[in-house]
Amino acid sequence: MKRTLIVLLAAIFIMPALSAKLLTNVYGRDYRLLNGKWDAIVDLYDQGERMKVYENRTPQGNTDFYEYSFKNGLRLNVPGDWNSQSPELKYYEGTVWYGKPFTVTKKKGRRTILHFGAASYRVNIYLNGKKILSHEGGFTPFQADVTDLLLDGENFLVAEVNNRRTKDAIPALAFDWWNYGGITRDVMLIDLPDLYIDDYFIQLDKNSPDVIHADITLSEPKAGVKVTLDIPELKKKVELTTDAKGNASTTFKAKNLKRWSPDSPKLYDVTITAGDDRVNEEIGFRNINVDGTKILVNGQPQFMRCVSFHEEIPQRMGRAFSKGDATMLLNEARDLGVNMIRLAHYPQNEYTVRMAEKMGIILWQEIPIWQGIDFTDDTTREKAQKMLTEMIQRDKNRCAVGFWGVANETKPSPERDDFLKSLLATGRDIDTTRLYVAAFDLVEFDKGRQVFTMNDPFTENLDVVAVNKYMGWYHPWPLDPSEAVWDVNADKPLIISEFGGEALAGQSGSEDVVSSWSEDYQARLYRDNLRMMQNIPNLAGVSPWILFDFRSPFRFHPTNQDGWNRKGLVSDRGERKKAWYIMHDFYRKKRNEDALSVKE
């Protein structure tokens, strides 16, 4: 017992305090990227901790030697996944140690935050031989205040990254996308004054077109600090004073405010100052609500012309991580005619989110609560709540985000319901301005009534219900598509969040034969599904699965899949399939219909 207490106390003194919340808007701060080539050691049998790899020791005398070295070995790009950087690591699931030397000139009165955009999936971070933080979850950021651990001069940073699938992970043991491992997003050192702006949430009122709410929090619970919020274009400069908790809040009207929308993605320059700290930001203001079965953007019904994509560049067979990658993915989606993207099935890069906002694309962001989650495990629930919090904390000021997603394709049970309700409570405690959604694959055909129905009482907790249904692919048609009627959550907006089928680009075949894997069959399937959707009275949006073919170990067919899910409208080589043009024409028609309804 005494030994255990000593170990716990040692851990407390070694581990510096993490920020209570993630620092808001890291890209609006004074930062220095630690990207580039990092030295790496593949640790197949997890021996690195025993060998104290994190200490980066080198022989000091004639009798010293160590059975590892960061120098003169494997080097990996950061950000980037390891699977696409080495043929030997293509299927690797396990531990890789990353090492990075860097120099620092320490300054009095300044603090330094070490920030990782993401690392997949579990990570332990060591600085100068000391463990400073651990994080689980491959798609959300994490950070630590390292001011007191940095040396004036040379420092050595080590990341122990492990992407091994486990039952208690999120996602769990099996998921239909590639299990990329590595430090997959930017790593940076953020330079801040001793007292800095830690967090802020500036957004338009849920219902009002011109009322702005602002909540600002300092890094310390210090009262009496002057805080200024300045939006020059709105001629609004608000002076605030923090309370005893270091918080400052205000609500004000903004005259002549132009709201952000897909057709007019207006963003305002916003500056927040407090003491010696100053943060620059671009923020858009919009309302998103539900009225019966309609989704309203700025008070106007808008049909969600959506598509999904993974955070993957298929031509490179690797994780997307850069502004260039975001540009490629988003431009292809925009060419399709979308006004919305479902970032499936996990929070994606902040570059993608911010660029989508500037392009006028609404986003549905979700955490990977995907088939196989253990809903009976409280630890898994806590992980999910933490992931959801990190996702919302990072992007709550991004007006493009209209939907927070809490689950995909889960099965009803009391444990599942409690689990998802806890996520909704967690999310709504932070943000009530967005719509909360989950996707289900539970729609069945009622032969007696001759209608498609779904029985899942949990859906009543959601603002919007989404359904994945692969008619013509996993499910044969029970009747002609033109006669298919739906009665699913008739009092709520319904989004068909996934539909489609696989086709190998360039392959011709019968449009009547599923196993042809042809573009012709995929095109027929799309026409049939779109015809069926005309009979869904509460249909508020459509999102075919998926924009690009993507890598998946699920897919075994040796000639038509070869490790790829071929449901993409665009192939892994960037070729648009016949179904792409069907969706493009459908979306152009829906956009024209929305424009006419607004004029009327």
Instruction: Give tens-digit pLDDT for 334-363.
Output: 999 999 999 999 999 999 999 999 999 999
Question: What percentage of residues in the chain have a pLDDT greater than 70?
Answer: 96
Return the SS3 of 35: coil
Tens digits of per-residue pLDDT, 213-240?
Answer: 999 999 999 999 999 999 999 999 999 9
538 pLDDT more than 90: yes
571 pLDDT above the threshold of 50? yes
The one-letter amino acid at 296 = L
- 350-359 and 378-395 are packed helices; what angle lies between their axes, rounded to 10 degrees? 50
Count Cβ atoms below 10 Å from residue 125 Cβ, excluding itself: 25
* pLDDT digit string, tens, across residues 261-319: 999 999 999 999 999 999 999 999 999 999 999 999 999 999 999 999 999 999 999 99
What is the phi/psi pair of residue 528, to 5°?
-65, -45
Res. 17: pLDDT tops 70: no
Rounded Cα gap, residues 223 and 592, in angstroms: 53
Give the three-state DSSP class for 339.
coil
Return the pLDDT at 12: 38
Distance separating alpha carbons of residues 72 and 190, to the nearest angstrom: 29
**Calpha distance 203→399 (Å, rounded):** 8
* Burial zone of 87 (CB within 10 Å; 0-12 exposed, 13-18 middle, 19+ buried): exposed
Q: What's 14-58+66-192's CATH class?
A: mainly beta
As given in the structure block, the two tokens for residue 500 are 């489609």
Backbone torsion region of residue 207, taken as left when φ is above 0, otherwise alpha when ψ lies between -120 and 50, otherwise beta? alpha
Instruction: Convert the pLDDT of each residue in 94-109 to its tens digit.
Output: 999 999 999 999 999 9
Cβ-based neighbours of 512, under 8 Å, separated by 6 or more: 521, 524
Range list of β-strands (E), 64-119: 74-78, 95-104, 110-116
Residues 400-425, mean pLDDT to the nearest whole number:
97
DSSP state of 137: -
474-513 as b/e, with b when 16 or more CB fall inside 10 Å?
eeeeeeebeebebebbeebbbbbbbbbbbbbbebebebee
Instruction: Domain 206-286: state its class.
Output: mainly beta
Which amino acid is present at 235?
K
Q: How many CB atoms lie within 10 A of CB 278?
A: 17
Q: What pLDDT does residue 594 have?
A: 81
Top-tier CATH class for 299-599: alpha beta
Specify the amino acid at residue 117: G
* Residue 554: band (very low, low, confident or very high) from pLDDT cuts 50, 70, 90: confident
Question: Looking at residue 598, what is its pLDDT?
Answer: 67
For residue 345, how many C-alpha atoms fall within 13 Å in the half-sphere facing its CB? Answer: 23
The Cα–Cα gap between 8 and 376 comes to 28
- Parse the chain into domains and list their residue ranges: 14-58+66-192, 206-286, 299-599
What's the mean per-residue pLDDT of the chain?
A: 94
In the 8-state DSSP scheme, what is residue 357?
H
- The candidate with the shortest Cα–Cα distance to 501, out of 535, 546, 536, is 546
**Please, what sign has the CA dihedral across residues 284, 253, 393, 275?**
positive
| pLDDT at residue number 7 | 36
Q: If 0-12 CB within 10 Å is exposed, 13-18 middle and 19+ buried, where does residue 54 land?
A: buried
